[in-house]
Amino acid sequence: MARYMERTNGLLRVLRTNYVASQDEIKQYNWRSVLQTYGYLSPSEMETIQYNSRAVLEYVMLGKENEASLINSITRSRENARAVQDHITKEMWHNLNAYYLLIREPSIRQTIQSGDPITALDALIRHSLLLYGTIDITMSRGEAYSFLNVGRFVERAIIITDVSDIKLKEVNYRLDDELTLPSLRYLLYSLSGYEVYLKTSRGIMTPDTIMKQVLYDESFVHSILYCMSHISRYFKRLEGQSIPESFAHLDFLIGKAYNNLKYSTCDLKGGVSIGALLNQTRSDLYNIAIAFNKHYFGYN
């Protein structure tokens, strides 16, 4: 549930940023990398819509046939929440249900098809934030809250690796090209990190300092290392409620992933090296998620 919730929030921010970018460019904006990450279209199907912002938004946000779409994520999150209503607060359930109803409103589709898509995206982002606020204010800091947060930060870290990969793909992993900076600036926008970057780096835009913030800055809430340390923090709270072997296995995987990232020898000036680190990190995160499913949720 928490992973789906985080995914919707991350996806909404990615779409908003890319949509704004598409409106501010003279050349036609290509949505291919977004479609590759958040969809299952064949190359030929992709070609038909990759320059059409509204069609892309409709497919990624409202496409029921698209497993990775926003509407499917919200629906699944709600289904999961319905199944664990005894562990979550009534307010949280109400909010999630309202979120589900909101995305199904005809006005959202209409706004995306023919109105101002940012209005629709903003309404959904606002609701997503309302949900976070509700969780923060109403949930007790017990087992369920820890699970929610582990899921939330696992998903956030995966989203960061995906979004970074999208932007690196746009420049063919070449960080020495001058066209890199606009793409990386939009990466920061997608992660709500542009202002943080300006404050800490005095506005001097260099690919390696941008990537350093995205990968390693532990005070930036959308850096991978921040997420990793929070996965570890919330997971450790579950120790008392865990089977020792399960806890030990997960603890090892989380520690390994954290150290793989923190002590990596990645060359921040080289896109290929960063790409490899992102792949490694994503793989570590998936392993954590799979182990969680196996040891804590009984999936095989």
Interacting residues toward other proteins by CB under 8 A:
20, 22-29, 53-54, 115-119, 195, 197-205
Nearer to other proteins, 90 or 202 (CB): 202
DSSP state of 122: H
Measured from the CB atom, is 90 or 199 closer to other proteins? Answer: 199
Whichever of 79 and 122 has its CB closer to other proteins, that residue is: 122
Coil, helix or strand for 244?
A: helix
CB of 113 to other proteins, least distance (A): 11
Which residue has tokens 């939009």?
186
Closest CA to 151 of 83, 278, 238: 238
Q: Which residue type does 162 have?
A: D
| Cβ at position 197, least distance to other proteins in Å | 7
Structure tokens at 262: 């923190």
Whichever of 236 and 269 has its CB closer to other proteins, that residue is 269
Provide the residue count of the chain: 300
Least distance CB 58 / other proteins (angstroms): 13
Residues 6+ apart with CB under 8 A from 84: 1, 144
Shortest Cβ 179–other proteins spacing (Å): 14
Q: Closest distance between other proteins and the C-beta of residue 136, in Å?
A: 24
* Torsion angle in degrees (nearest 10) through CA of 142, 3, 98, 64: -160
